[in-house]
Structure 1
Amino acid sequence: MKKVLVVLAALGAFSGLVQAQEKIQVLSTQELVNVCKLPASPESRSFCVGYATSVYDTYLVTRHPQRAKPFICVKQPAPQRDVVIGDFVKWAGENQQFADKPAAGVFLGFLADRFPCGKK
């Protein structure tokens, strides 16, 4: 029994090592732009809206208001999602230096540029 546990532990450690060495692919800004360009198929539009919404929602729920000042301030009524996504596609086309960067961070940067917080 003890040998079996040692073998299982060794396999688990090896498996963890292999997984740790895998490169996790993240969506690039250009890949997101390609999916979000109009006219989009229903599947592409759904992915684009879902991705953009989840990035913004994650920003909202993970920012601690006492420790981190907001850097994205969307005034209400908020613009339609398709308008914001269209603006992002245009912005990304004008800022090709971000094409190979991870889409989530670049999208947050775009939102901060598009919806800056004013000084209080």
Structure 2
Amino acid sequence: MDDIKETVRISGERLCRAVATLTTRICDVSLTDISDAHKELNIVLPLLLTEGILSKVDSVWKASIGVVMKLTMHAGTAIRPHMADLICCMLESLSSLEDQGLNYIELHSKCQNTVR
């Protein structure tokens, strides 16, 4: 998804959508046995939380967050063992959603207030 060549990037995005759809279906407890959903989540969530969401590439980061959101909506009780890691990762990634300009202004306004 982060290749220089556009055709490779487009193919990577298609593959990502297909794998995300399949993964969501496998983890959906209304469609799959809960033990199979547990197995799938044990494989997919650590990868998404350590590699995908922490990626520097916007398209990878956005796709990873989208898949994690879908998994949390459809996995039901199968996601409970992963909740601690999921919450920590999501809270840590909140700072990357903020506008960097606002962070700059906030930092400098605090510095100026302490100097006065």
Larger Rg: 1
Q: Which has the higher contact order (CA 8 A, sep 6+)?
A: 1
TM-score, length of structure 1 as denominator length: 0.31
Give the structure with the larger helix fraction: 2
TM-score w.r.t. structure 2 length?
Answer: 0.32
